[in-house]
Amino acid sequence: MSSPSKRREMDLMKLMMSDYKVEMINDGMQEFYVEFNGPKESLYQGGVWKIRVELPDAYPYKSPSIGFVNKIYHPNVDEMSGSVCLDVINQTWSPMFDLVNVFEVFLPQLLLYPNASDPLNGEAASLMMRDHTAYDQRVKGKLRCMSRTTLTQLIYAHC
């Protein structure tokens, strides 16, 4: 087994041992879903999202592809595709990082500290800069119909 393959396997096992619910997409270890809970003391607390993770052949030397499957209202997440704008994943990834870092540090930081100056969701960024109270209310309202309660149950609502 090559070094990247061993590292993929180790990181995935470490993620599973950290009490994250992981659902494999196929027989390989390169594509899977992870259940991600909104961080405490954030607007997203209480929300649960299904995150799709794709590990490239060159992982950990190349960053994983991370995307929200169910919608989230956030300036740095494309509401339709679920793509994430996060420098540490998209530009400054290092083999020193692992999957647990993604779910315990990088994604929680993204939700705790949205960056309206580098948006993928221009409407959310604009509202956040223009009227922070209205933005907070919109996030909380959308949270109820965009997040879900279990890994296999998505709430499809017209939000």
145 carries an active-site annotation: no
Residue 61 to residues 3, 52, 126, 128, Cα–Cα distance (Å): 11, 19, 35, 35
Q: Which of 16, 29, 85, 88 is catalytic?
A: 85
Catalytic residues: 85
